[in-house]
Chains A and B, each alone.
Chain A
Amino acid sequence: MFKIVENRMIVPNINLMTIEAPLIAGEVQAGQFVILRANDDGERIPLSIADWDRAKGTISVVILTIGGTTSDLAAIQVGKNIPTAVGPLGNPTEIEHFGTVLCIGGCYGIASIYPIARALKEKGNRVIAVMEARSSYLLYWEDKLEKVSDRLIRITRDGTKGYRGHVSKIPGIMQEAREPVDRIIINGCTFLMKRSADASRPYGIKTIVSLNPIMIDGTGMCGVCRVSVGSATKFACVDGPDFDGHEVDWKELLQRRKTYLKEETIVSETSRCEDHALKTRDEAL
């Protein structure tokens, strides 16, 4: 059992959850993930580890409430336990002295890019952090990212803060700044990573993406997380999650992520009110 010590909505539909998991907190490095279950009949879902406190023995994840399990997780009260938190899984992001590194985070990826930016900064890189959201009210952790970057760029789809548009603006922004970029690292939804990788491709800058396919065990056993990278099939849980964004077969990944779209809808349609009502009644009894 793993105790939840913090769970709050930091912007609409996105929760920050901090979990007591001293072993994971002791081992984790930037770019790794954890698999959680919300309850005993719950599914196992992978989430990037966004921050940790080795002394306190806690790890934090940022959860976009989008389906059944993420909703269940977001609803767990502080002080309660979840049955599974296993990790740190996957390989850490490669952290070297690259020179100037562009760290792009979108949506829940704003959180997971943070420890990567921090580690790169500690290695002496010049870090340009880029955060993207649909609107200004969905931006978070600006202060944290500011601290670990030399420059923080904000992009909102509606232009309410920073640049207006999408991260595909990045090449233009870089041109404008006239500063060479040695590496780009992108965390976020598959679509954002694809768009960003497409945008950086013409410039020939090494672009690393943190892939998020469907997973079950996360330990190299079930094979559902397979992705085509270059001409090979790779398993994101043990070979990744980081891959060269210019080599990933994005079309296939986007399709594979949609495998259970219909079932996710069933969960959303059937389990909200009724389920909640039943559970509340049980507790009252």
Chain B
Amino acid sequence: MMEPQKKKIDYNRREMPKQPAEIRRHNFSEVALGYPVETAVQEASRCLQCKKPLCVAKCPVEIDIPKFVKCVAENDFAAGIKILKEKNLLPAVCGRVCPQEEQCESTCVMVKKGGQIAIGRLERFLADWEAAQDKMNIPEIPSSTGKNVAVVGGGPAGLTVAGDLIKLGHQVTIFEALHKLGGVLTYGIPEFRLPKAIVNREVDYLKKLGVKVVADYVVGKTRKIDSLLDEYDAIFIGAGAGLPWFMNIPGENLNGVYSANEYLTRMNLMKGFLFPEYRTPIKEHSRVAVVGGGNVAMDCARTALRLGAETRIIYRRSRQELPARLEEVENAEEEGIIFQFLTLPIRYIGDENGWVKEIEYLKMELGEPDASGRRSPIPIKGSETILPIDAVVCAIGNSPNPLIPKTTQGLVIGKKGNIVADEQTGKTSMHKIWAGGDVVTGAATVILAMGAGRKAARSIHEYLVSL
């Protein structure tokens, strides 16, 4: 009898097609185009189906990765999306914006040879496949437990909590401060990286599951947490990002100096790039400097570029230390963003009408590693340089939203203005109140907020069934 032939391991990670840089730098359509069916099947077929998969352990929302990948390999997309959605309510979003290279894909056994399975792309493929079928698979909801949960904030954390709890039979109401749901997915991440139609679709899915949504409702202002406590059995606070950080250098309040939050909100939530059809204006700038090196900085720079400005990223460390996803850095480079590394702004200089016209910066060199483990930047004496620009976007982070901490007595607040919550359960210092996402951690990623939402939902459910 012949031994069955051992299948040769395929390390060839399949590329995902993208809009060419020359074209996409002039439009706001999505950059990455997604796998065609055959490519997705080929990519999924490479998976070794490890008995003890290391990828799952690195997924903040615990998706059964080998199982859904196997479904793709077997052309059973309907089964694949079902598995995904058991754990992840927002697969079309996560497939696009999760840092898979640091999570699931980083522990794939094939990573050493650069052949790690493109889990994120496959996740996206399934979500998009489902959307293209034009019929949403609505899971059966158990009969109502009669318990009411208020979710404060309709961003990634809140949407996850809402989805998890509604599927367990609880009644859920989301209170959103803005006029549209999605949080950072809506106001922050640009159309070319995450089309808003996708966010809307995922929100619609939750509504179909029975989640109630109240927009234009600022908890802490329209109603205080205390008064919600009378009506709801549990409250989850996922109020998200708050006031933007600036560097406290001269000239930051000049006209033409934006926070990343403002710049992106004007563009994404308010559709500034369609002004005057949409009434929120955005200025035409010709030379834009974006300060910072994270994903938000990349988003701002690539937005400014698409509006026609010569755009540069100003970052105080080197390329190696950029906190942004490599994929986004490469996209930005291809599109023609100028990267000015080892550069620290020290002053913005204004014209006679109060508009920023120049940036003064210092050149840096890298010294010993600091607390973050990255080599710390040290200013080079006498390296002051002045560069003409007409807009600055400061993308160096933000603090948690201040409204609920300010208006809720008895809630323990951390040093950075964050709500203190247990890492494993999301429980806060107050009875019946959980919290998660940026309002707890400060600015972080979509998937971490979703992971926090998942843990909180589990804890809330345990509490509700114990009543």
Task: State the A residues within 8 Å of B (CB).
Answer: 23-24, 27, 37-38, 41-44, 68-69, 72, 83-89, 216-217, 219-224, 226-228, 233, 235, 238, 249, 251-252, 255-256, 258-260, 263-264, 266-267, 270-271
Contacts and interface: CB of A to CB of B under 8 A. Distances in A.
Nearest to A232: B248
B178 interface: yes
Contacts, number: 132
B413 to A, nearest CB: 14
Nearest to A42: B279
B279 A43 contact: yes
Interface in B273-292: 274-281, 283
Contacts of B275: 263
Given A43-B270, A228-B253, A267-B276, A223 B222 contact: no
Contact of A87 (B221, B240, B276): B221
Contact of B222 (A24, A233, A264, A266): A24
A267 B279 contact: yes
A216 B266 contact: yes
Nearest to B224: A27
A87 B220 CA distance: 10
Contacts of A222: 244, 259, 261-262, 265
B interface SS class: loop
12 contacts: A43-B280, A72-B279, A87-B222, A219-B218, A220-B403, A221-B261, A221-B265, A222-B262, A263-B283, A266-B276, A267-B276, A270-B276
Nearest to A251: B354
Given A87-B221, A222-B259, A233-B246, 17 more contacts: A23-B217, A24-B222, A69-B279, A72-B279, A83-B179, A84-B216, A87-B222, A219-B178, A219-B221, A221-B265, A227-B253, A256-B255, A259-B283, A263-B275, A266-B281, A270-B276, A271-B276
A255 B222 CA distance: 32
B243 A216 contact: no
Given A23-B222, A216-B280, A217-B178, A86 B216 contact: yes
Interface string B274-318: 111111110100000000000000000000000000000000000
A252 B354 contact: yes
Contacts of A216: 262, 265-266, 269-270, 280
A223 B261 contact: yes
A72 B279 CA distance: 10
B243 A223 contact: yes
B452 interface: no
A252 B252 CA distance: 11
Given A41-B277, A43-B279, A235-B243, A217 B265 contact: yes
Contacts of A255: 255, 353-354
B169 interface: no
Nearest to B276: A267
Interface in B378-401: 398, 401
A183 B401 CA distance: 32
B218 A86 contact: yes
Q: 8 tightest CB-CB pairs across the interface, nearest first? A: A255-B354, A263-B281, A223-B259, A43-B280, A223-B244, A43-B279, A86-B216, A222-B262
